[in-house]
A and B are shown apart, each in its own frame.
Chain A
Amino acid sequence: MPPLKMNAAAWGLLVVSGLAAPFLVYPVFAMKILCLALFACAFNLLLGYTGLLSFGHAAFLGAAGYVTGHTVKVLGFQPELGILAGTAAAAALGYVFGSLAIRRSGIYFAMITLALAQMVYFMFLQLPFTGGEDGLQGVPRGKLFGMFDLMQPLYMYYFVFAIFLAGFWVIYRTIHSPFGQVLKAIRENEPRAISLGYDVEKYKLTAFVISAALSGLAGSTKTLVFQLASLTDVHWHTSGEVVLMTLLGGMGTVFGPVIGAIVVVSLQNYGANIGEFVTVITGTIFVICVLAFRRGIVGELAVLFKK
């Protein structure tokens, strides 16, 4: 198949399976996948298309979740406003992180983002409004635009699906815009991009903020789905998980992170009864991906189809 047709087919499959999902699987499970898939796609914009490995993306997911939880639960915001507030907070945090982290590259970039995220983790552990170890519980889902009661699982699901599609579309457009081409040029050869006259730091920072904002969108939505904002979402394990989803699905591919999210979330859901072994299995998949499977599922499939 020519790539254009294949892309259209993949979009079709995505929309159809997304629309049908709540009738096939447990809606909360499907919503969790959508949130984390959006998170992974936002992360992939940075790792896959700009070549920046952030090891602190949990900070954006978690911080947005706390802001949404607080604004909706304590300040009585409408759900759509709460999500906007969370996303804006994540974008602002992303600006701060990004400004600091892009001062170094490569391995240091990863360590800086990880350290900053750990700092955010400690802050949320101690700040009074987060509820410490318990997190923010019982966040009301509210009524969307004052009309649709989101306690109805189907309303909630299609709201989440719409958010996912909107976020995914933004990422898709970003990747395929002239801006996205410059990002790829930076990934491939940074000195060359500089010598061609591009303000590389500005491009990196913009990509970082977009990625952080969309991760925040995912985190805000997740908080409404589970009616909970907790420390788990800020923990470095979550930062590692999003790397795994992207790596497993195929970094630098449009649909890879979605596949990766489906696999990892399913593993966690159905593997819950094996307890601590989930961590061991996650680690093993990491090792296998790095040693033998660096293109990821979608990347390998693409190679197969090209032959």
Chain B
Amino acid sequence: MTGMFGVSIQGLSGQLLVGLLNGSFYAILSLGLAIIFGLLNIINFAHGAQYMMGAFLAWIGMTYLGVNYWWALLLSPLLVGSFGMLLERGMLKRLYKLDHLYGLLLTFGLALIIEGLFRYRFGISGESYPVTEQLAGGRNLGFMFLPKYRVWVVVASLAVCFGTWYVIERTKLGSYLRAGTENPALLQAFGINVPLMITLTYGYGVALAAFAGVLAAPIFNVNPVMGSNLIITVFAVVVVGGMGSIMGSIVTGLGLGLIEGIVKSGMIANLLSATFDSVPVAGSIVYPIKLLFSPEASAVTVFVIMAIVLLVRPAGLFGRER
């Protein structure tokens, strides 16, 4: 089968699937960050560490206690979420009256502690978590091989993302949450237990991270630093999308994942070559842009897009200044 712009269909669809997969993780993690920021005004730097804890709890459960994948998918977020609620009650709570930056610094410290403890206990080589039997294997579509597990990850994380969006934007419970984001003091005056709501919200955001961690465990190597590199990319996603809108975080996460996949397939670099290389001056002007969007540079794609968005629309695609 012939391809497009010098990229085979196999290559492109493979990278698109990887992009969709990464995009699902970006979406679910940036959604958690946005929910937490909305109510607590804190950027949860420990989000990556909590994602890693989710993956590790699943692995520990399987290795030492014989807990299967489906139970891990339920129990690990519950445990990590409860741990998050303890952190909120014990520490974060004391910071609400201070500058937002202290929340970032505190959760940064917590991330270092959690990561350090796991590195001390498990080393950095990492553990592997096999795909559960029900989701092993895949289907050959003729032009590509579609692994079942990856499809499941995309479906499951999108279901959770849109479920969360529905609850927040369309239900009574969600209306309390949105009211709390706008004006917590007034909401409390109406008799809602706002401190409890804040604790539960943080717990839910953390549980989302852990859920993503369990989903990731069979795909990526389970290791103590798996979260920290991912979370910095997710920060860039959050800057692009802005944290004002739930749907915005989901769409931005998925979109950036897909763009990353397209860049990795080499299509953008080839397209730029095909258009500009024959034009004498434009070719050399476009050259640095081509480098930034070459497959080798796909690790920085999200950051490059963040820089472009900051130049064009500083408040972010779905953002509003607050």
Contact = CB atoms under 8 A, between A and B. Distances in A.
B102 interface: yes
Given A103-B314, A107-B43, A107-B101, A280 B106 contact: no
Nearest to A280: B116
Interface in B81-106: 91, 94-95, 98, 100-102, 104-106
Interface in B11-50: 37, 43
Given A126-B296, A287-B91, A291-B91, A282 B112 contact: yes
Interface in A225-268: 236, 240, 243, 247
Given A247-B105, A290-B105, A112 B310 contact: yes
Given A275-B120, A286-B106, A286-B112, A104 B303 contact: no
A76 interface: no
Given A106-B100, A115-B236, A287 B94 contact: no
Interface string B301-322: 0111011001100110000000
Contact of A107 (B104, B112, B228): B104
Interface string A151-163: 0000000000000
A269 to B, nearest CB: 18
5 contacts: A112-B306, A115-B239, A115-B303, A240-B108, A278-B116
Interface string B101-119: 1101110111111111101
A53 interface: yes
A92 interface: no
B105 A103 contact: no
A148 interface: no
Contacts of A177: none
Contacts of B303: 115-116, 118-119, 122
A276 B239 contact: no
B232 interface: yes
Nearest to A290: B106
Interface in A81-108: 100-101, 103-104, 106-108
B304 A276 contact: no
B299 interface: yes
B69 interface: no
A280 B117 contact: yes
Given A107-B101, A115-B235, A118-B232, A283 B91 contact: no
Given A110-B101, A111-B236, A275-B120, A240 B311 contact: no
B269 interface: no
A110 B115 contact: no
B8 interface: no
A290 B113 CA distance: 14
A17 interface: no
Contacts of B91: 287, 291
Interface in B66-83: none
Interface majority SS (helix, strand, loop, mixed), chain A: helix
Interface residues of A, number: 40
B109 to A, nearest CB: 3
A279 interface: yes
B233 interface: yes
Contacts of B112: 240, 279-280, 282-283, 286
A7 interface: no
A114 interface: yes
B225 to A, nearest CB: 10
B300 interface: yes
Interface of A: 53, 55, 100-101, 103-104, 106-108, 110-112, 114-116, 118-119, 122-123, 126, 236, 240, 243, 247, 275-280, 282-287, 289-291, 294
B238 interface: yes
Contact of B306 (A106, A110, A115, A287): A115
A283 B115 CA distance: 9
A283 B235 CA distance: 20
A243 to B, nearest CB: 7
A237 to B, nearest CB: 8
Nearest to A122: B299
Contact of A236 (B232, B307, B310): B232
Contacts of A236: 228, 232
A264 to B, nearest CB: 13
A80 to B, nearest CB: 31
Given A116-B303, A280-B116, A104 B314 contact: yes
A115 B104 contact: no
Nearest to B121: A276
Nearest to B109: A286
B46 to A, nearest CB: 10
Contacts of A243: 105, 108
A282 B297 CA distance: 33
Most buried by A among B43, B109, B300: B109
A55 B297 CA distance: 22
Interface in B154-202: none
A286 B104 contact: no
A36 B176 CA distance: 48
B314 to A, nearest CB: 4
Contacts of A247: 105
